[in-house]
Structure 1
Amino acid sequence: MAEPFYITTAISYPNGKPHIGHAYEAIAADVIARHQRLRGRDVRFQTGTDEHGLKMAQKARDLGKTPKELSDEMSQYFIDMCDALNVSYDVFLRTTEPRHHASVQELWRRMEAKGDLYLDRYEGWYSIRDEAYYDESELTAGEGGQKLSPQGTPVEWTVEESWFFRLSKYAGPLLALYRDHPEFLQPDSRRNEVTRFVEGGLRDLSVSRTSFDWGVKVPGSDNHVMYVWVDALTNYITGLGFPDETPEMAKWWPADLHLIGKDIVRFHTIYWPAFLMSAGLPLPKQVFGHGFLLNRGQKESKSLGNVTDPLELAERFGVDALRYFLMREVAFGQDGSYSPEAIVTRCNAELANSFGNLAQRVLSMIFKNLDGKLADFTPAEADATLLATVRNACQSDLPQAFDALDFTAGTDAWMRAVFACNQYVDEQAPWTLKKTDPDRMAVVLLTLFRAVRELAIAVRALVPASADRLLDQMGVPADERNYAAYDDAEWYGRLVSSGFTLSQPVGVFPRLELPAEDA
Structure 2
Amino acid sequence: MTERYTITTPIYYVNGSPHIGHAYTSIAADVMARWNRLDGRDVFFLTGTDEHGQKVEQAAIAAGLPPQEFADRVSADFRAMADALHISYDDFIRTTEPRHLEACAALWRRMQEAGQIYLGAYEGWYALRDESFYGEDELTLHPDGSRTAPSGAPVEWVREPSYFFRLSEWQDRLLALYEANPDFIGPPARRNEVISFVRQGLKDLSISRTSFSWGVPVPGDPAHVMYVWCDALVNYITALGYPDTGNPLWRHWPADLHLVGKEIVRFHAVFWPAFLMAAGIELPKRVYSHGWWTIDGEKMSKSIGNVVEPRALAAEFGVDPVRYFLLREVPFGGDGDFSRRALIGRMNIELANDLGNLAQRTLSLVARNCEGRLPEPQPRQESDTTLLAQADALPGLMREQIARQALHEALEEAWRVVRAGNGYIDRQAPWALKRTDPERMRAVLRVLVDTMRVIATVLQPFMPTSMASMLNQLGVPAGLRQLGDLSAPLPGNTVLPPPAGIFPRHVEPAA
For residues 109 and 368 of structure 1, what CA distance do their matches in structure 2 show?
Answer: 71
Residue 390 of structure 2 corresponds to which residue in structure 1? 389
Any idea what the Cα deviations from partners look like across 1:367-390, whole Å, max 9, x if unmatched? 111110123232322222221122
Q: Secondary structure at the match of 1:118?
A: strand
For residues 379 and 92 of structure 1, what CA distance do their matches in structure 2 show?
Answer: 51
For residues 143 and 98 of structure 1, what CA distance do their matches in structure 2 show?
Answer: 47
Maintained 8 Å contact 1:242/1:249: no
Aligned CA distance change for structure 1 residues 47 and 143 (closer, same or farther; 3 Å): farther
Q: Give the superposition deviation at 1:430.
A: 1.0
Which letter maps to 1:290?
Answer: H
Q: Secondary structure at the match of 1:505?
A: coil
Residue 280 of structure 1 corresponds to which residue in structure 2? 280
Which letter maps to 2:490?
Answer: Y
Which letter maps to 1:502?
Answer: L
Residue 36 of structure 1 corresponds to which residue in structure 2? 36
Residue 500 of structure 1 corresponds to which residue in structure 2? 494
Maintained 8 Å contact 1:395/1:486: no
Maintained 8 Å contact 2:242/2:250: no
Any idea what the Cα deviations from partners look like across 1:111-155, whole Å, max 9, x if unmatched? 100111111111111111111010111111357432111000111
For residues 320 and 454 of structure 1, what CA distance do their matches in structure 2 show?
Answer: 18
Residue 311 of structure 1 corresponds to which residue in structure 2? 311
For residues 45 and 430 of structure 2, what CA distance do their matches in structure 1 show?
Answer: 45
Residue 374 of structure 1 corresponds to which residue in structure 2? 374
Following superposition of structure 1 onto structure 2, how do residues 120-519 of structure 1 map, counting pairs within 5 Å? 120-142=120-142, 144-381=144-381, 382-392=383-393, 394-488=394-488, 491-493=489-491, 496=492, 500-514=494-508
Which letter maps to 1:397?
Answer: L
For residues 37 and 347 of structure 2, what CA distance do their matches in structure 1 show?
Answer: 25
Residue 89 of structure 2 corresponds to which residue in structure 1? 89
Residue 73 of structure 1 corresponds to which residue in structure 2? 73
For residues 212 and 340 of structure 2, what CA distance do their matches in structure 1 show?
Answer: 43
What percentage of residue pairs aligned between the two structures are identical?
51
Q: Secondary structure at the match of 2:92?
A: strand
Q: Give the superposition deviation at 1:247.
A: 3.6
Q: Secondary structure at the match of 2:161?
A: strand
For residues 438 and 253 of structure 1, what CA distance do their matches in structure 2 show?
Answer: 57
Maintained 8 Å contact 2:241/2:250: no
Maintained 8 Å contact 1:253/1:284: yes
Q: Secondary structure at the match of 2:422?
A: helix
Alignment TM-score, normalising by the size of structure 1? 0.96
For residues 358 and 143 of structure 1, what CA distance do their matches in structure 2 show?
Answer: 61
Maintained 8 Å contact 1:352/1:511: yes
For residues 110 and 151 of structure 2, what CA distance do their matches in structure 1 show?
Answer: 32
Which letter maps to 2:217?
Answer: K
Q: Secondary structure at the match of 2:255?
A: coil
Maintained 8 Å contact 1:340/1:514: no
Any idea what the Cα deviations from partners look like across 1:320-357, whole Å, max 9, x if unmatched? 00111111111011111111000011121111100110
Q: Give the superposition deviation at 1:286.
A: 0.3
Q: Give the superposition deviation at 1:431.
A: 1.2
Any idea what the Cα deviations from partners look like across 1:171-212, whole Å, max 9, x if unmatched? 010010111111111111111111111110011011000011
Which letter maps to 1:33?
Answer: A
Which letter maps to 1:149?
Answer: A
Q: Give the superposition deviation at 1:508.
A: 1.0
Using the TM superposition, name which of 443-452 and 267-276 deviates more: 443-452
Q: Which runs of 5+ in 1 are unaligned?
A: none
Any idea what the Cα deviations from partners look like across 1:91-116, whole Å, max 9, x if unmatched? 00000000100000000000100111
For residues 374 and 201 of structure 2, what CA distance do their matches in structure 1 show?
Answer: 68
For residues 41 and 26 of structure 1, what CA distance do their matches in structure 2 show?
Answer: 20
Aligned CA distance change for structure 1 residues 217 and 402 (closer, same or farther; 3 Å): same
Residue 8 of structure 1 corresponds to which residue in structure 2? 8
Which letter maps to 1:440?
Answer: R
For residues 100 and 89 of structure 1, what CA distance do their matches in structure 2 show?
Answer: 18
Maintained 8 Å contact 2:20/2:310: yes
Maintained 8 Å contact 1:190/1:262: yes
Using the TM superposition, name which of 97-106 and 441-450 deviates more: 441-450
Q: Secondary structure at the match of 1:121?
A: strand
Structure 1 residue runs of 4+, over 3 Å off? 141-145, 247-250, 514-517
Alignment TM-score, normalising by the size of structure 2? 0.98
